[in-house]
Amino acid sequence: MSKKTPDLHSAYSLSSPDENRQLYAEWAGDYDDSFAGREDYQLHTHTARAFVGAGGQGPVLDVGAGTGLCGAVLSALGVGPIDATDISAEMLDQAMSKDIYRDVIEADLTRGIPVPRESYSGIVSSGTFTHGHLGPEVFPALLRVARPGAQFALSINARHFEKLGFAEKLRQLEQGQIRNLTLPEVRIYGDLAAGPNKDDTAFIALFERV
């Protein structure tokens, strides 16, 4: 990977867990200002509100938590306790500094999540299921740590929902593993956003574990 300043294009170009670690280690310190603030990023707010609107409650695992943007909204909405998991230790350091998480778990989700089975009543993820990041192959790892009846709210970039197999995987899971699936579509960025991705949308996959 090049050593240029991390940005949305470089994030969308990632192709391996090691590249994810490197980019987010470099980006962690100013991610909230250089990306979320400048791009009028809104997906974390939509995801947290959808989770609460669907009746979600703690304990919650914030998957791909990054610097804690989604967790901060959940906390403000009265949800807790919240744990964070991410592949980047540097991003988790930033998340912990917000004083909203009970614990942080550094993990490569393609290898599973090192917590006991059925640990959480809610699973939330904002911005992780997108270009160059995680695909539907990690859904079984998320289901493993969810309790029966646990509420999920997973944002999935709309451009990749069909192409990368998310739609098919969710259809498979509806055959006995999840229920009450809905897919509201939201804008990822607000009205102040600019650039080629400003009109991108995401589906928020809302469902419960059987």
At residue 158, the pLDDT reads: 95
- pLDDT tens string 11-34: 444 445 555 555 545 544 455 455
At residue 38, the pLDDT reads: 64
At residue 173, the pLDDT reads: 98
**Whether residue 8 has pLDDT greater than 70:** no
Q: Are 41 and 188 in contact (CB under 8 A)?
A: yes
At residue 7, the pLDDT reads: 42
Domains of the chain: 8-209 (3.40.50.150)
How many whole angstroms from its chain centre is CA 191? Answer: 22
At residue 199, the pLDDT reads: 92
Average pLDDT (151-156) is: 98
Mean pLDDT of the chain: 86
Average pLDDT (55-60) is: 98
Average pLDDT (35-55) is: 88
State the alpha helices, DSSP H only, in 14-165: 17-27, 31, 43-53, 69-76, 89-96, 139-144
At residue 196, the pLDDT reads: 81
**Whether residue 9 has pLDDT greater than 50:** no
Alpha carbon distances (Å) from 88 to 28, 68, 144, 181 = 9, 12, 22, 30
Burial group, residue 155, by CB count within 10 angstroms (0-12, 13-18, 19+): buried
- pLDDT tens string 68-118: 999 999 999 999 999 999 998 988 998 999 999 999 999 999 999 999 999
Label residue 6 by pLDDT band (50, 70, 90): very low
Average pLDDT (160-179) is: 96
* Beta strand 201-209 pairing with 146-157: antiparallel
Q: What is the pTM of this model?
A: 0.84
At residue 40, the pLDDT reads: 85
In three-state secondary structure terms, 56 is coil
Residues of the chain with pLDDT > 70: what percent?
80
Average pLDDT (164-183) is: 97
At residue 35, the pLDDT reads: 55
102: left (phi over 0), alpha (psi -120 to 50) or beta: alpha
